Every structure is written in C-alpha cells, then in structure tokens.
Structure 1
C-alpha cells in the first residue's frame, strides 16, 4: 500500500487508509468529540466530506492530484463514536482528469455519496506561488 499523495494529512480528522490500490481506496474514520457540531454529538458534514475527498485523492494516488469539483449528497447523519468507511472507485480517466465515486458507510448504512472530479497537475499547485 504505497501512498504517494497527501502525506501530511491529519488522519485523525480525515481517516486512516485501509486499502490503496490502483484506482481505488478505502479509508476508516472514527468520529471523535472534536467533530461534533452541537451537544447532541452530530458530526459536522465537513469532516465526512474531507474523509471522502481524501479517499478520492488516494484512489488517484499521485503527488500532484487536486480536487476540481464535487457533487455530493449527505444521506444520513453521523454522530460521535460512529466508525465510517469510505470506499472510493475511479470511474473514468481522461488524460489528467479523473472521476472518482466515493460512498461512505456506517455499518451497513450509506451516509454519504459523492462524485469527485480530480486533476493531476503537471507540477504542484503551489509551485511558483
């Protein structure tokens, strides 16, 4: 499981890679109290989106992969203590453009689904910035 992208990401916030192979990945995230949006323990959707984004980046697994766009749906709420699994699968590759579908599950329940448009840039996006 060679990981070639997002090496310094905080895995406590974006998930721990479980599997990374060409064109797909699986990431596990345990929802922690610092992700809660309110006293009920509802997890802020940004953490779930971040996990799914990370899974998409790992499916492409290139040092210069960046997110260009996403179409996403939150299907069920998540709460502190939930263990989420994101499953990413590349659907299409056209040159530097990659379309990756990601589904996030809590046990058997699908809680999030998205299609990410990713690009592999010729050089790091911050080169020369």
Structure 2
C-alpha cells in the first residue's frame, strides 16, 4: 500500500489509512482526542470528521494531484471523545479527470453509520498551486 497523495497530512487529526484498493476503495481510521473536542460534553467538531472523510476520498483516488471539487455530506449522529471512527469509500464513477465517490463513516465499536457523503474529486496535470 503506497500512499501517493496528501503525504504531509497529520494522521492524528485526519485519520490513518488502513487499506487502499487504488481507484476503487479505501478505509481510514480516526481516533478522537482532546484537540478535536468542541464543547464540555466531548462533542467532536464536524471539521475533523469531514477531514477524515475527505482524506479517505483522496487516498482512494491516490494521485499526487487529486483535489476536492465538491462534497454533499450528512452528519447522521454525533461523534464524541473516546470514540473511534472508520471511514469507507467507494468509487461510484470515473469520467476523464473527475471521480465521484461515496464515503461513509461508522462507529468502530458498533459499526453504526454516523456520516455519509458524496465527493467529487479531480485529478489535475500539475499541483493546484503551480
């Protein structure tokens, strides 16, 4: 498993890759910690959830110049401090440079789905900042 994209990502904040079937699917695990907490009750901020889901989509495409074009996501249940999330992606279609993916997030302990989204990714000829 060779990760070709987002190589400087902080895996403690965006998740660690468990598996990649390049161009088809990927699995990412996000272990929650105090840096992600939004309030005194231990609610994990949605930005960290989105980051892990986006990272899962990016490593599925697994190209150095992949970027996110858009996302339509739903937060179905809250994630709280101490819980671990598993994100699973699936490529729905590829047309030229555009890849459409589904990403779902599950509580690791119960496998109950708490997040779902559709991501539109583009593979560019050169880095987006060049």
Fold match by TM threshold 0.5: yes
After superposition, the C-alpha distances for 1:57-107 in whole angstroms (9 at most, x for unaligned) are 011000000000000000000001101000011110000000010000003
Aligned-pair CA distance for 1:109: 1.1
TM-score of the superposition, structure 1-length normalised?
0.97
What are the residue-to-residue correspondences of 1:1-129 with 2, within 5 Å? 1-22=1-22, 23-106=24-107, 107-127=110-130
| Structure 1: runs of 5+ lacking an equivalent | none
Unaligned runs of 5+ residues in structure 2 are none
* Runs of 4+ in structure 1 over 3 Å off: none
SS in 1 for 2:57: helix
For 2:82 and 2:51, locate their aligned partners in 1 and report how far apart those are by CA, in whole Å: 17
Name the count of aligned residue pairs: 127
